[in-house]
Amino acid sequence: MNLASLKPEQIVPDLQSTDHLEVISELVGLLFDYLEQVENTPLPEDVKEKAYLSLTQREEKISTGIGSGVAIPHAFSEDIDEMAVIFGRSKKGVDFEAVDNNPVYFIVLFLVPQKDYHQHLQTLAAIAKLFTRSDIRKELALAESRDDILAVFNKHAVNS
C-alpha cells in the first residue's frame, strides 16, 4: 500500500470529529461515499455499519494509536473485494489512547478483504514505516489542501 496512490477524495485535510470513535465514524462515512462514487452504485447501509462495528471493536480491544501522532484503525471485511483506504488529518488532535499518550493528528483507516489477511500486515508495516519520519509528519501538518497532502505522499513514495 502506497499512500501516494490515494485519490484526493480519499484525503480529509481537516477532520471535524474530536473523539476517536467519532473520527472512525466520520472516516468510514467518507470512505463509503467515495466507494459509492467509484462503483457508481449505492452500497447497502449494513455494509457501512458492519465496517464501523469491526473497526470500533478492534479499537476497544487495543488502541490503533501507534504513537508520534499517528493512528491506523483497520479491520477485515467480507463485503469488499479490494482494500479500501482513507487518510484523515486532525488539526486539533484526537485522544486515541495512543501508546505514547499523545494526541493523534494523522489517521490512516483501512479495510482489508477477509481473504487478504497477509495484505493487512504489509499495509500496517508500510504505513508505520512512513510515519516514523518526523520530517514527513511535519510536512503533512503544514500541508494546506488535499493536493498538498498528496504531494507529500508522492514526494516520499519511493522511501515508504
The number of CA neighbours under 13 Å toward the Cβ of 7 is 8
CATH of domain 3-155: 3.40.930.10
Q: Are strands 104-113 and 70-71 parallel, antiparallel or unpaired?
A: parallel
Kindly report, residue by residue over 71-124, the tens digit of the pLDDT. 999 999 988 888 999 999 999 999 999 999 999 999 999 999 988 877 888 888
- Residues tagged active-site: 74
Cell of 58: 478492534
Express each pLDDT in 37-48 by its tens digit: 998 888 888 999
* Residue 6 · residue 153 · CB < 8 Å: yes
